[in-house]
Amino acid sequence: MPEQPRLAFIGIGLMGAPMTRKLLQAGYTVTIWNRSEHKCRPLTGAGAQAADSAAAAAGQADVVFLSLTDTAAVEQVVFGPGGIASVAGEGKILIDTSSIDPAASADFAARLQAANGMQWVDAPVSGGVVGAQNASLSFMLGGDPGVCGQIRPLLSVLGARITYMGPHGAGQTTKVFNQMIVGCNAVVIAEMMAAAKRAGLDAAKIPEALSGGFADSKPLQLMGPRMASDNFEPVQWTVATLLKDLGNAVALADRLGQNVPVTEFARSLMQQHGEQHAAADLSSLVKLFEK
């Protein structure tokens, strides 16, 4: 990989947009592509170059980032018509920051290398939109250890913690476990905040009161004020995203033969809310408990 690699970023959404902006600010040349073209416009104004397809973006890059919705979207962008697998890939690296099924991630890595020689790193992130904006994300890496070592300087532009977890799929497995904790935490925070309002407390003071104690967490500090004020805009993290991740968690647990009753219950409660509010911010989950 060159000392100053040319980059492509595919998937300009809630996470991809601020991550791309950080890479541009660090002086990298970045070519971008998104299925919804209008999302690219603010970044082309900031110096990014827009491509007509995922293949066109990848063809101009040494390192390709993905930040896509789910497993199906990653497969389509990489292996579908006009996808990344159709370009010359020898010596190039794909960094998938999406949160997808671990087994599929390992399969995609093998398929891509066979198709065009490109190396795959599963590199899901934790920290949300705020972490992307502040370059404080945590990366969980799966793949060849040498390749993962090569991309550390690049990832350090975007994150504060980079941990190698093992072979292909290990990063995604770690992210699944992360989301089990986050999902269960989000549900109980929503339940608690609804109860605090009913008890007549000034719910806006709850995050401050619990700060630094055993009940404190980043989700509490980020979602608590929004839940207290019923202000769920702008959307920073959709209900649908966490539902997808909890689905991956239940599927992984099933493959492992591991009971995860708390995660399954959290998922079922979130599913109730998501039936009508899938695109809403996760903090809107408090409304489920205020009925």
Residues with a known catalytic role: 175
CA 180 to chain centre: 14
* Rounded Cα distance, 57 and 80, in Å: 15
Burial of 208 (0-12, 13-18, 19+ CB in 10 A): exposed
Q: Are 66 and 98 in contact (CB under 8 A)?
A: yes
Using the structure block, give the residue that is written with the tokens 């980032």.
65
CA of 174: how far to CAs of 100, 126, 131, 164, in Å?
11, 10, 18, 10
**Bridge partners of 93?**
63, 119
Q: Are 66 and 54 in contact (CB under 8 A)?
A: no
* Rounded Cα distance, 151 and 173, in Å: 20
Q: Are 8 and 77 in contact (CB under 8 A)?
A: no
User: Other C-beta atoms within 10 Å of 156: how many?
Assistant: 14
At residue 157's C-alpha, the angle toward residues 71 and 14, to 5°, is: 40
CA of 74: how far to CAs of 108, 112, 116, 133, 143, in Å?
9, 12, 17, 23, 17
Peptide bond into 2 cis (omega under 30): no
